[in-house]
Structure 1
Amino acid sequence: MRATVINCTLKPSPEPSNTEALAEVVATELRQRGVKVDAVRAVDRDIRPGVETDMGEGDEWPEIHRMLLASQILIIATPTWVGRPSSVAQRVVERMDAMISETDDAGRPVAYNRVAGVINTGNEDGAHHVISEINGALADIGYTIPGQAWTYWHLGPGPGPNYLDDDKGHDWAASTGRAMASNLVAVAEALAARPIPPPPQ
């Protein structure tokens, strides 16, 4: 089984990423369950604006698209900015829109029989809003969203330190992240054994 984690931080490498740090907790649990994990820091890639799988010369989204099709698990990891998912996360979801019209050999949308979840970090509240926005988009694209397929960390209302600056709440975020990984794997295994059938004609 394979998983792709797309980190939608606004910080280019090699800057430390709070979102990446929490995502690594989930990725570690996935690896312990035998899942091969590939990670992409989207801001480092030339992902053109648009809603097609290939936006032409220089566009690096087609490579990421191939990673998605090779994975049974997708995790979108994003910080919260002005109460919303990052602009990078929005661009990633927009590029995934093309997958709605792409089908497999059985006529199913290519995201069917794949699971997805969300990781969110931010030093202000808004995690549930961010999670619901991204999960809603992923469900529209065709991904199955298991129960509690998310984790987050924040300090509540008002500005404050970031995830890597403060240990407060790490235990809860980590245990929730491990549960997230377990639930993603369980549902991915169930879909592999009993796939969603092609849509009725």
Structure 2
Amino acid sequence: MTLNCTLKRSPAESSSELLGSQVLLELLGHGVKGEMVRIVDHDVRFGVTTDEGDGDEWPKLREKVLAADILVIVTPIWLGQPSAVCKMVLERLDAELGETDDQGRLLTYGKVAGIGVVGNEDGAHHVTAELCQALSDVGFTIPAAGSTYWVGEAMQGVDFKDLDPTPDTTAGTTKTMARHLAHLAELLRETPYPPE
């Protein structure tokens, strides 16, 4: 499951969409099928519960997240930070701290998370660090080399979606991340975390 945290509604082109699609394609090579959801195309409410009511579409998206073994969050960089959409998703995932299975484990335990970051400014490592901490806090496991990114020259107008072909370094980190996500998800399916 890939959550695209672009600020652009469909059908606008999005660098986050492109990187997320590349991650899904690499995962498919490891037998992992998935889908991408562009969060801004849904009525997701601000809040820190599993359901904010009044037409909130997060509960439907949450079901998909919990049904998946792998979650990938892709975000653009804005002012050196993850997008506001990404931060809203992290706030909604915070509700998982209060949700456990019959053995006392968070419902997100045993699920693997990866991160994709794009932008034409510096900040990919900072954004990745923020997301790693947040996803780990709410129960996801991040593998070694669990992120991929591209950043262009600061204060320029070239976006990831404008590149052809994708730079080898980004393609390589995307391939590695997908391989590690699939491997770790399989290990955690076979040997889940112990009960509380």
Aligned length in residues: 196
Distance 1:58 1:196 in 2: 35
Q: Quick check: 1:30 aligned with 2:27? A: yes
For residue 11 of structure 2, the aligned residue among 9, 14, 24 is: 14
For residue 75 of structure 1, the aligned residue among 72, 77, 98 is: 72
Is the CA contact 2:110–2:192 (under 8 Å) kept in the aligned structure 1? yes
For residue 169 of structure 2, the aligned residue among 154, 169, 172 is: 172
Q: What residue is the counterpart of 2:132 in the other structure? A: 135
* Residue 160 of structure 1, CA deviation: 3.1
* Residue 105 of structure 1, CA deviation: 2.3
* Residue 159 of structure 1, CA deviation: 2.6
* Residue 38 of structure 1, CA deviation: 1.6
Is the CA contact 2:112–2:140 (under 8 Å) kept in the aligned structure 1? yes
Give the match's secondary structure for 2:34. strand
* Residue 112 of structure 1, CA deviation: 0.4
Is the CA contact 1:124–1:160 (under 8 Å) kept in the aligned structure 2? no
Q: What residue is the counterpart of 1:108 in the other structure? A: 105
Give the match's secondary structure for 1:36. coil
Q: RMSD across aligned C-alpha pairs, in angstroms?
A: 1.2
Identity of aligned residues (%): 48
Q: What residue is the counterpart of 2:183 in the other structure? A: 186
TM-score under structure 2 normalisation?
Answer: 0.97
Q: Quick check: 1:197 aligned with 2:188? A: no
Structure 1 unaligned spans of 5+: none
Structure 2 unaligned spans of 5+: none
* Residue 115 of structure 1, CA deviation: 0.5
For residue 50 of structure 2, the aligned residue among 48, 53, 57 is: 53
* Residue 157 of structure 1, CA deviation: 3.1
Is the CA contact 2:96–2:107 (under 8 Å) kept in the aligned structure 1? yes
